[in-house]
Amino acid sequence: MSDGPWVHLKSRYPLGARVTGRVKVKFQHGVFLELDEDPEARVFVDLLSYNPGGTRGSEGLPAVGELVTGVVADLVDRDRQVRVRVGPPWRGSE
């Protein structure tokens, strides 16, 4: 991806924006979402931000095909990745 599409994604999904995406891939420590059917958007939700009720391991993550809503928590230039937080902020991080 050239810088143009990444710059566009950063402006489209700014920090703090509320987003909803469909789980495309599930890993042991997180999932990748597709936002608005945008093939350029690589959105990562990690296990630490999606931990309802203290569930541990990948079984606590949403399934492939499931819709997930969260807040854009980070934009990682190096990986050209939008990171989404699903759960509440950690205590002391506000």
* pTM, to two decimals: 0.74
**Separation of alpha carbons 63 and 36, rounded Å:** 18
pLDDT above 70 coverage of the chain, percent: 68
pLDDT above 90 coverage of the chain, percent: 11
Tell which CATH classification among 3.40.50.1000, 2.40.50.140, 3.40.50.970, 2.40.30.10 matches the domain 3-85: 2.40.50.140
**Separation of alpha carbons 86 and 83, rounded Å:** 10
| pLDDT tens-digit readout, 18-53 | 999 888 888 877 888 888 766 556 677 765 555 555
Domain definitions of the chain by residue range: 3-85
Q: What is the DSSP letter of 43?
A: E
Average pLDDT, the chain: 77
Burial class (CB in 10 A: 0-12, 13-18, 19+), 36: exposed
